[in-house]
Amino acid sequence: MRDIFDEIQVKLDEIEQRENVRILLAVESGSRAWGLSSPDSDYDVRFVYQRVRKDYLRLDEKKDTIDWQLDEVLDINGWDLKKALRQFYKGNATLFEWSNSPVVYRKRPEWDEIYREAKVYFSKKAAVHHYRGTAANTFYGHLQTDRVKYKKYFYALRPLLACRYIEENHCPPPVLFDELMKLKLPEGLCTQVEELLRIKKTTKEGQLNPQLPLVIDFIASELERQKEIADLMEDDHLKDWDVLNRIFMDRVLGLQSLCMEG
C-alpha cells in the first residue's frame, strides 16, 4: 500500500503543478474505500481542486473537471471547487461519500471548514433516490443470469444498506461496508454476505459464480421497499444558496467583505 500511496502523491503533485491548481481533498472512492476490494481492484482516486482567482474571472471559463489517468491500476479524476459547491447544493450523495472516505490521500484544513458548512445541504430524499437508483441499475443490468460476478452483489447491497442507514439515522451513511452491516438485517443474510465477502476478496473481479438466492431475494424486496419510502419522503432539499455563495466568494474570490455587505 505504501508504494501505491507514494505513487498517488506523485500524481497529485503533478496535477497541481501542470494544471496550476491546489488540491483541497483527494480520497479513495471505490471498492477500496468501501472495504470491498478484490486482488485486482484498481484505485479510484477522486479529488476537489481550486484554481487561482483569475481563472474564475475569465469570460472563457476553464473546464470544471480534470481527467488525469485511467488504466488498470489508477483511475484519477477531480472536480473544480465551484462544481463541487454546486453539487453540494443538489445534495449529491457521491460528494458526501468523498467527504467521508476512510482512505484520504490529501486533505487541506480549509476543506474541513468547507464541508462543515456545506453538509447542511445533505438531502435524505436525494440520497435515497441516488442509492436506490444505483442498486436498481446493478440488479436489472447485472444480476439477472444464473451466474454472476460477485462484486455486482455489493454494487446493489451497499447502496441499499445506505438507504436503510439514512432511514434509521437521518444523516449521510458511513462509507465502509462493515459499518453498514451493523444494521439489523434479515436472519441468515449476514452469514451469506460474510461468505460472499470471503469469496470476493480472494477471486478476480471478472469471475462468474452461481446466484445466491437469499441475497438476491433481499435485494429485490429491498428495492421495492425503498421505492415506497422514497416516494413518500418530503422534499428536504435546502434551496438557499447563501452558505455556498459565501464559501465561494470568500475562499475562491477573496470577497468576504462584499459577501457580508450583500
Which helix H or strand E contains 124, and what residues bound it?
Answer: helix 124-142
Q: Which CATH architecture has domain 2-121+240-261?
A: 2-Layer Sandwich (3.30)
What is the structure's pLDDT at 258?
A: 42
What is the structure's pLDDT at 202?
A: 81
What is the structure's pLDDT at 261?
A: 40
Domain coordinates of the chain in residue numbers?
A: 2-121+240-261, 124-232
For 141, other C-beta atoms within 10 Å of its C-beta total: 11
Provide φ and ψ at 153, rounded to 5°: -55, -40
Could you tell me which of 54, 27, 59, 61 has the C-alpha nearest to residue 43?
27
Question: Which residues contact residue 46 at a Cβ distance below 8 angstroms, ignoring those fewer than 6 apart?
Answer: 26, 27, 28, 29, 77, 78, 79, 98
The model's pTM? 0.91
What is the structure's pLDDT at 187?
A: 85
Q: Extract the C-alpha cell encoding 201.
A: 476478496
pLDDT tens for the chain, 262 residues long, are 569 999 999 999 999 999 999 999 999 998 999 999 888 889 999 999 999 999 999 999 999 999 999 999 999 999 999 999 999 999 999 999 999 999 999 999 999 999 999 999 999 999 999 999 999 999 999 999 999 999 999 999 999 999 999 999 999 999 999 999 999 998 899 999 998 888 887 877 788 989 999 999 999 999 999 999 999 999 999 999 999 999 999 988 776 544 434 3
**15, 74 in Cβ contact below 8 A?**
no
Q: Does residue 185 sit in helix, strand or coil?
A: coil
What is the structure's pLDDT at 256?
A: 52
Question: Which residues contact residue 214 at a Cβ distance below 8 angstroms, ignoring those fewer than 6 apart?
Answer: 188, 189, 192
What single-letter DSSP state applies at residue 100? T
Max Cα distance, the chain (Å): 64
